[in-house]
Amino acid sequence: MSKRRFAITAALLTLLGGCAKESEQTTSTLSQREKDSILANSQIPGARAVKKTLTTADSAAARQARIDSAQQNP
């Protein structure tokens, strides 16, 4: 196959791929929190750090909620 024919074929395939319908593309329905939770429970390197970060964020949010409720009900 000549270089010119290859370039034309590649250009046509690129155009056809760009014209795909939105419904054909897969989209994730998971939230970022759910994705991070799945990652945290995996065996890949760094997963423990993600789990620790999620735990720390949960703790801070719970503490802030307690502080807010204490200020509303003195």
In eight-state DSSP terms, residue 25 is: S
Per-residue pLDDT tens digits for 28-60:
798 998 998 999 999 999 899 999 999 999 999
**Number of separate domains in the chain:** 1
| Contacts (Cβ under 8 Å, ≥6 apart) of 48 | 40
Structural domain range at position 53 = 30-74
User: pLDDT at residue 74 above 70?
Assistant: no
pLDDT at residue 67 in the model: 92
Does 58 fall in a domain?
yes
Rounded percentage of the chain residues whose pLDDT exceeds 70: 80
Q: Which residues contact 53 (CB under 8 A, 6 or more apart)?
A: none
Rounded to whole angstroms, the Cα distance separating 40 from 56 reads 13
Q: How far apart are CA 15 and CA 23, in angstroms?
A: 18
